[in-house]
A and B are shown apart, each in its own frame.
Chain A
Amino acid sequence: MREIKIDSYDKGQEDLCALLDGEASEVQVQRILTAMDGKSGKEVREFWRRYNLVSASVRNETFDIGLDVSRDVIAAITNQPPRTLAKSSTWPEVIVQLGVAASVAMLTLFSIQYYSDNVRFDQTLRNVEVESHNEELHSGPAAQFPSGFKPNINVRTVSAGLIREPELKVTLDSQLFQDDRIREHIDRKVSEYYRQSFHIGRHGEQPFVKLKKSEVAPD
């Protein structure tokens, strides 16, 4: 860029004048800054200082012609870049941030899903009606399955407290199991569970019924 001369009525003083008034274009500001590096640098600084001094006087503000710390300040801050508060992220940082965000999102989704399943299971148990039924208790579980549908029931036990011997009939909520055969089958399984819990639970164990996939789908 062409260096400006500041001796008389020329662009340099005009630019400084415009800068003082807040009317300088970006080109003018750049011209002034470029001139500060050249031979006219000292003159540019002196003009700027005197213009500000005149401005202070006309505005009735105070001024001191002996004060100039600018050179010392610039010498002190040389090689000290201004600190940046919000540094722009580099692409590896962006990937890590995205990964963390995705992990949190997935964890949240799984948590919600897990929580929903538990809520549904609790709802199912609430819909279970336990009724006394002597007949089923004595007829045994095998007699309760439809023909051709004899599940291989595995029973495992875990700890449980003592319970009173009930006579049980368990009926599941029909809305949750639309297929009558499946619903009936599950009803029986749950009934079996409670019967087992009575017999085994006396020994401090909790039973449960384990079904194979083939048993749930009879055909």
Chain B
Amino acid sequence: MIDHTKSNVTDCQLLSRAKRGDKRAFELIVIKYQQKVQNSLTRFLKDQDELNDLTQEVFIKAYKALSAFRGDSQFYTWLHRIALNTAKNHLVAKSRRPPTSDIQVSDAENYNSFNQLHNTDTPENILFCEQLDQILKETVRQLPEDLKCVISLRENKDLSYEEIAKIMGCPTGTVRSRLFRAREILDEKIKTLLNDR
């Protein structure tokens, strides 16, 4: 399992501002975690509209209770618990029995959306997401070796810039610029696909 240590740094930076009422910081948090939250909810709900409504509700509850989050655990673990409770309460309110066992945080992150989540989604959207995923993975494989190495160490090993710099024997600034170039190439691919859609 990947340790999202650096991800926690990002969360802490944004959450500290969100706690002070900065909604822009919380918006970045929502964009970052909305997919994971919805993945957690798919175990309980299949209807896409219900899923979207509950995903919103989870984040609204999280925002209202932000001061209760003290950073003892990862933010997503806390968010995942809110998502489970929200889904269960929703089912109870609708007199539907919730699942007997909870889905674990790690499982929720890797829940296969193409098999589970998009059962209610349109076939076109499912196909598009699959194509997008394949294209992105292919683009990563075709990246120059230094860029591929740096993005792999960052995303898959969750290493810091300094750690990557030591491994690759280059300055931290070089790691930073290589990561940026790799993401720029991948972002261009996504942007083109989305615009052509």
Contacts and interface: CB of A to CB of B under 8 A. Distances in A.
Interface of A: 9, 13-14, 17-24, 26, 29, 32-33, 36-37, 45, 47-70, 72-74, 76-78, 80-86
Interface stretch (B59-67, B80-88, B91-99): B59-67
The number of chain B residues touching the other chain, given as a range, is 35 or more
B187 A65 contact: no
A63 B63 contact: no
B12 to A, nearest CB: 9
Interface of B: 2, 5-10, 13-14, 17-19, 21-28, 30-32, 34-36, 38-39, 52, 55-56, 59-60, 63-68, 109-114, 117-118, 121, 125, 128-129, 132-133, 136-137, 140, 151-152, 154-156, 160-161, 176, 179-180, 183-184, 186-187, 190-191, 194
Instruction: Choose among B27, B52, B111 the residue with the greatest number of A CB atoms under 10 Å from its CB.
Output: B27
Contacts of B125: 64-66
B109 to A, nearest CB: 6
A91 to B, nearest CB: 22
B190 A52 contact: no
B30 A73 contact: yes
Contacts of B114: 62
A21 B52 contact: no
Nearest to B115: A62
A23 B6 contact: yes
B154 A48 contact: no
Contact of A62 (B19, B117, B137, B140): B117
Given A53-B190, A64-B117, A77 B26 contact: yes
Contacts of A76: 56, 60
B50 to A, nearest CB: 13
A29 B38 CA distance: 26
Nearest to A30: B17
A128 B38 CA distance: 84
A90 B139 CA distance: 58
A29 B17 contact: yes
Given A45-B31, A51-B183, A72-B56, 10 more contacts: A13-B184, A14-B176, A20-B10, A22-B5, A22-B8, A36-B27, A48-B32, A50-B191, A54-B187, A65-B125
A82 B19 contact: yes
A74 B9 contact: no
6 smallest beta-carbon distances between A and B, as pairs: A22-B6, A22-B9, A62-B113, A57-B136, A70-B30, A82-B66
Contact of B34 (A51, A55, A69): A69
Nearest to A78: B23
B160 A67 contact: no
Given A45-B27, A54-B186, A82-B19, A68 B60 contact: no
Contacts of B36: 61
Nearest to A82: B66
Contacts of B32: 48, 52
A69 B10 contact: no
Contacts of B13: 19, 22, 24, 26, 29
A82 B26 CA distance: 11
Contacts of A64: 35, 38, 113, 117-118, 121, 125, 129
B136 to A, nearest CB: 4
B17 A55 contact: no
B7 to A, nearest CB: 6
B163 to A, nearest CB: 11
Contacts of B14: 29
B173 to A, nearest CB: 11
